[in-house]
Structure 1
Amino acid sequence: MIAYGVIHGAFVAIAVAAQNAAALGLPADALAQTAIRSNDLLRNVTMVPVAVFTLLFTWLVLAGMSHYPRWVALFNPGLLFPLKQPLLGWLSSPAQVVVGGGFFEPDSADFLSIFYAGADPKKVE
């Protein structure tokens, strides 16, 4: 979640750069390219630990080494997010925009809801 916040926090820099470019009479992406490259770098750096912890969490849940039922692992956004690109190829244009533009956020909210609801309070000591 920290990586998610850092990457989305960098969107402010992209927006400010585009706004400054417009104020200077330049194309919006003229100044935003540096901020976009920084955001891409942040994504690439955070992908490794996110992938490691996604696989670790999934393995622990599926192995029964957590307080969550095994089916919770199926709703892990780290596993569902890579399925987005193949899914977009099968969908028509309006559905591609809905799924491609907002797939991760609702998926994260669903996962967190299931994550907290799936815990068995009797097992937590």
Structure 2
Amino acid sequence: MKQKKRIINFEVLRVLAMFFIVTQHYCYWGLKSSEWYHFMPMKSSMDIFNYISIEALFLISVIGVDCFVLITGYFLIDRLSFRWKGMMNIWLQTFIYGIMVSILVNNEGGGMIYFLFPSVATGL
């Protein structure tokens, strides 16, 4: 089997893109969804600076998803054959997990999902 040479520049860019994706999720689901963000008092210049910093970090980190998809697509172009078995495996896993989540959510008005994931019930 022929060993492929890794291109370190693309690997570093991919790691940076992953960091941006995690940062974007933290900004959106951690900071922007909290009550602190929506009811932040704009009384001082530090409050305004914090608000602008969060918005700027979120906007900059949005490019992480696009960059990651482009790098992944670049490396997948070298493949000559399409693997139907791999695609069916992913589709089957997604279908089974989707059915399981639907059952959990619809079970007794969502009682099971609140039992398994208590943070959903508290809104954290």
Shorter-chain TM-score bucket reads: 0.3 to 0.5
Instruction: Return the structure number with greater relative CO, CA threshold 8 A, min gap 6.
Output: 2
